[in-house]
Structure 1
Amino acid sequence: IPLLRRDRPEADTLVTALAQLHTHTTTPVDWQNYLTNTGAKQVNLPTYAFQHQRYWLDAPTTKGDATDLGLTNTNHPLLGAAMAIADRDEYVFTSRLSLHTHPWLTDHTIAGTTVLSAGALVDVAIRAGDEFAATVLDEFELAAPLTIPAHGGVQLQVRVGTPDATTNSRSLTVHA
């Protein structure tokens, strides 16, 4: 409850104190008696929600897909977008993996840690190769399992290198 102060009128302090007493405690305040002979009238509030008008500019709407960012959509559940490297015959595929966007990953939880299966990584490699009619995966080496955190996500990048001059094969690396 506010204290009386010299720089504040007593009537305002009294009304503020009564209002705080009414809203912050179980002490009843007899507003009818307080407002008698003040000219105040009781009014009914509308039963519908209060209407309001917005004055903020609407943000431009985007589709929210890779093409809005100048990337190519891959139509693959683990690879969201692709981009050609400007000065080379190389490509980068990218995506963000999380338990929120890919809830089925929780089926691959081992001892409390969620991992992306090697089979899923092979599928990612094959899908990236499909973009270049590279139908054979010669070798696949997994240095460490890809763990998915319980909160947040993992940025996944797949880089497809330039074609070899003699075999026309391409190197492929997966980074997270």
Structure 2
Amino acid sequence: MNVSLNWLATHLDLSGKSIKEIDDLFTFAGVEVEGIVSKGISSEKIVVAQIMEAVQHPNADKLKVTQVDAGEGQLRQIVCGARNYKVGDKVPCCLPGAELPGGFTIGETKMRGVESKGMLAAASEIGLPDGEDGLLILPPDSEIGKPVKQLFDSDTLLELEVTPNRPD
């Protein structure tokens, strides 16, 4: 049985308790926690960025070279293959060092000879439910540079092994 930690917190005072302490409390109550799954965005290095410019990549037909404002005081160049955005859109920007689901860490790289200092992301790439194909377009009033995780709810699911209370 899966139990949402957010739901559990509406019924119990879990303030100040770590996941490990909650796991131990279930174990002491005779309920085994078989797994713990985090849902949502965990990295602070995934921020709201505004696309300021997008030009054709000089060495690739299906890529664009974008200039984005990620709230750092200067524009950041990122190579992107998505097609569903326009200049002025606000999107998730994974800065170098951002950890994505599956253990992938974003770094600076060259794509077909052009430097890319991060990644513009789709919903599924940052741990959110799949949406439309392409980049996740954020609300226009999203604050540039703000961690995207502050815009979406996150939760932790506890996978519990509930043993039947049978007399046999």
**TM-score band w.r.t. shorter chain:** under 0.3
Which of 1 and 2 has greater Rg?
1
Higher helix proportion:
1
TM-score (norm 1): 0.24
Higher strand proportion:
2
TM-score (norm 2): 0.24
